[in-house]
Amino acid sequence: MRAVTCCDDNRLSRRSVLRAGALAGLAGSLLDTRLAYAADPAYDGDVLVLLSLRGGFDGLSAVVPAGDPAYYAARPTIAVPKSQLIGGGTFFGLHPALAPLLPYWTSGRLAAVHAVGQPAPNRSHFSAMEELERAAPGTSLRTGWLSRMLGSFGANDPFDAIAMGTARPARVLAGPAPSLSLTSIDGLALTGDDAAKPVAATMAALYRDAPPALARTAGQLTGALDRGRALRAAGYTPAGGAVYPDTELGRALRDVARLIKADSRLMTATVDSGDWDMHENLGIAAPGRRMHDQLAKLAAAIAAFATDLGTDGLRRVTLITISEFGRRVTQNGSGGLDHGYGNAMFVLGGGVRGGQVYGSWPGLAAGQLRDGDLAVTTDYRAVIGEILRARCGVGDLATVFPGVAASALGLVTAR
């Protein structure tokens, strides 16, 4: 059993320092573009970036419990050897492909939480994702938890919440609060539309009496086209020498950073990273192997995002990774991992007290598993709840996560 908790005596004083820093940053580089749109009076919390690792992320490969001998026994050909781990403490170490994130880990802006997951095992991708994003088991709620979070702030502008990199709406944003799904900012252009041929304006008129569901999407589009025009005109060069990988995730995070820097109204953004469903040939921790290469791409994109935001920008951003379930502890006959339960989350941000693994480790020995899987000792909603409380200013967590109390891991400092 390894409990990792700590406390921060200086929370209040640190908070005021952070605020001053954030304001200074805004006053400098961001103020001009910020004025282009009305400031959102209801929200001054962190921009919450939700990075969904689709397909069942193997947290045990990413944040390796090297101190638990059962880990090596269960995975004879795919375990990450102790000698290859990075950023390690005495018990956990990170997969070497996460090296691009090591500076953020060692400087304390990236943390992990282990043995997290949903309150009950659900090993179906599709229903687990649905439940993860609805986040209200045992209730009849049909909205996504991010939509409820937005609603608690009275968010009323589609640009408050962006699902970036997708042509389809995000389930976690399903609900009455407005949101946008955008494949990219540069792609926000309507062919042929100009002052002489006002296609967008004409379409707005055509949809005026349309069925509400159709009218809403059309209205969001015509509004977004205006905003897109301004953003494109402003152009974008990542800061700090950040180089985003040319992947869907890299492009999506680049556009999230672009919005964060240009538009202070953004409250939350969701991005997806797929292809974590590795039933076969997950591979050793070496280039060319599936898990290694997937983690490397993930780390490169997140690291570029953090570099681009810079220290000041990151002060008002928290990025969380989630996945619908973890993988089985024991590898299968195909050198892969079937669907499991407990998992690891990453948390990156200026307010994170990083460089360590949080949570309560249940152990991987046979008697400590839950039907062969890593047991869950921390509800993922409690982890997010702590961030929503401390970083986003959510007062009443019950509206977002009914029946869940925020964790007291001390994962982040209060804003």
Partner 1 sequence: MTVFEQTLSRRTAIGGAAAAGAAAVLATGTPARADTKFHPAVEPGVEFVEEPATDPAAGLLPADPLLHLLRRATYGPSPASIAEIRRLGADAWLDRQLNPASIADPVADELLARLPLSGLSIAEIRARVAAGQLKQYDWTPMWQLSFAAAARAIWSERQLAEVMVDFWANHLNVTCPFGDVWDSRTDYDRTVIREHALGTFAGLLKASARHPAMLTYLDNRFSTRLAPNENYGRELLELHTVGLEYTESDVKDAAKLLTGLTVDNATGAYRYDAANHVTGPVRILGFTHDNATTTGGEAAALALLDHLALHPSTARRIATKLCVRFVADEPPAGLVTKLVKVYLDNRSAIVPVLRALFTSVEFAASAGAKTRTPLEDLAATVRILGYGPPPSGTKTFESLYWMARNAGQAPMNWGPPNGYPDVAAAWASPSGLLVRWNFHLSIAAGTWPADLVRPADLLTGMIGGRPAGYGALIDATAERLLGVRLGPAQTAALAAFYGKTPASQLKSNDPAVGWTYPYLMAMLLNSPNFALR
Do residues 362 and 344 touch, judged by C-beta distance below 8 A? Answer: no
Q: Which segment (21-29, 84-92, 212-220, 404-412) binds partner 1 by CB under 8 A? A: 212-220
Does residue 190 bind partner 1 (CB under 8 A)? yes
What is the nearest approach in angstroms of partner 1 to the Cβ of residue 52? 13
Distance CA 29, CA 316 (A): 14
Sketch the per residue contact string, 154 through 173, with partner 1: x for CB under 8 A, - otherwise: ----x----x--xxxx----
Q: Closest separation between CB of residue 268 and partner 1, Å?
A: 16
Residue 125 interacts with partner 1 (CB under 8 A)? yes
The CB-of-169 to partner 1 minimum distance in angstroms stands at 5
Q: Nearest approach, Cβ of 355 to partner 1 (angstroms)? A: 35
In whole angstroms, the minimum distance from the beta carbon of 25 to partner 1 comes to 30
Cβ atoms within 10 Å of 306's Cβ, excluding its own: 27
Residue 44, Cβ density class (10 Å: 0-12 exposed, 13-18 middle, ≥19 buried): middle
With binding defined as CB under 8 A, does residue 141 bind partner 1?
Answer: no
Number of residues that bind partner 1 (CB under 8 A): 59
Question: Taking CB under 8 A as the rule, does residue 404 contact partner 1?
Answer: no
3-state secondary structure 248-299: HHHHHHHHHHHHHHHCCCCCEEEEEECCCCCCCCCCCCCCCCHHHHHHHHHH
- Determine if 220 is a binding residue for partner 1 (CB under 8 A): yes
Question: Which one of residues 9, 213, 241, 396 is an interface residue with partner 1 (CB under 8 A)?
Answer: 213
Q: Which is nearer to partner 1, 332 or 399 (CB)?
A: 332
**Separation CA 229–CA 134 (nearest Å):** 33
Torsion sign over Cα 308, 310, 313, 316:
positive
Does 139 bind partner 1 (CB under 8 A)? Our answer is: no
Please, what is the angle between helix 11-25 and helix 290-314, to 10°?
A: 80
CA dihedral in degrees (53, 59, 64, 69; nearest 10)?
-160
Q: By CB under 8 A, what part of segment 368-387 binds partner 1?
A: 371
Q: What DSSP string describes 332-381? A: -TTSS--B-S-EEEEEEETTB--SSEEEEE---SGGGSBTTBPPP-EEHH
Among 152, 199, 147, 202, which residue's Cα sits nearest to residue 176?
147
Site string for partner 1, 302-341 (x = CB under 8 A): -----------------------------xxxx-x-xx--
Binder of partner 1 out of 224, 317, 348, 392 (CB under 8 A)? 224
Taking CB under 8 A as the criterion, the residue among 207, 234, 290, 402 binding partner 1 is: 207
409: tokens are: 């891991």
Please list every residue from 268 through 297 that binds partner 1, using CB under 8 A. 274-275, 277, 279-280
Under rule CB under 8 A, residue 194 binds partner 1: no
Contacts with 241 (C-beta within 8 Å, 6 or more apart), sequence order = 307
CB of 333 to partner 1, least distance (A): 3
Residue type for 239, please? Answer: A
Rule CB under 8 A: is residue 214 a binding residue for partner 1? Answer: yes
Distances (CA, A) of 344 to 46, 61, 283, 360: 22, 9, 19, 12
Taking the C-alpha atoms of residue 126 and residue 140, their distance in angstroms, rounded to an integer, is 18
CB 315 to partner 1: min, Å: 30
Q: Is 211 a binder of partner 1 (CB under 8 A)?
A: yes
In the complex with partner 1, the residue whose CB is nearer, 6 or 201, is 201
C-alpha count within 13 angstroms, C-beta hemisphere, residue 171: 16
Q: How far apart are CA 332 and CA 373, in angstroms?
A: 13
Nearer to partner 1, 282 or 387 (CB): 282
| Closest by CA position to 11, among listed 389, 359, 400, 357 | 389
138 near partner 1, rule: CB under 8 A: no
Euclidean distance between CA atoms 387 and 400, whole angstroms: 12
- Is 203 near partner 1 (CB under 8 A)? yes
The residue among 240 and 287 lying less far from partner 1, judged by its C-beta, is 287
Q: Does 208 bind partner 1 (CB under 8 A)?
A: yes
Q: Which residues are near partner 1 by CB under 8 A?
A: 54-55, 123-127, 158, 163, 166-169, 174, 180-183, 187-188, 190-192, 197-199, 202-203, 205-218, 220-221, 224-225, 274-275, 277, 279-280, 331-334, 336, 338-339, 371
